[in-house]
Amino acid sequence: MRPTLAVTAALVLLLGTGGAMAADPAQLAETAGFLLGNAHRCGVPTDRVERAGTVIHRFIVAASCDPTDEAAANSRFAETFLASAFPDQDGDLLMPPCEVVIAQFERLERHHQQAGMNQQTRKSFVPHTQCDVMNHPR
């Protein structure tokens, strides 16, 4: 598979998690780790990558049913981020072109800004998780 196609497919999964179905925290973590790790590799400033990571972490918390689910997703995010940010030069890893990565990262940032997700003052908001909805139907 061509790297551009693979990156596009991975990013569509990440950006499409806001649909009607609840996000799978492990899939969200893996896809976000791939994008943010590659953004770091491509020279996106650390503060921007960290800000996006904070938003992604909040998504993971909201999508997780329990602390074990959240911990597994956080671990998967860290593993994927590190593998993407610091790829083994001898391995046969997918290394997408930086132009594609940066464009998709900027798209993610715009989405976060438009939705007001980059604001640090929204700490009082507690989202309903998929488990809340399943355990307490309306």
Which residue, chain included where needed, has tokens 């598979």?
A: 1
| pLDDT tens per residue, range 6-22 | 554 555 555 554 444 55
C-alpha–C-alpha distance, residues 96 and 35, integer Å: 10
- Tell me the two tokens of residue 69: 């689910």
Total structural domains in the chain? 1
Structural domain of 109: 3-135
Lowest-pLDDT choice from 4-8, 37-41, 124-128: 124-128
**DSSP letters of 32-75?**
HHHHHHHHHHTT--HHHHHHHHHHHHHHHHHH-SSHHHHHHHHH
pLDDT, tens digit (0-9, with 9 covering 90-100), for 47-75:
999 999 999 999 999 999 999 999 999 99
- Does this model's pTM top 0.75? My answer is no
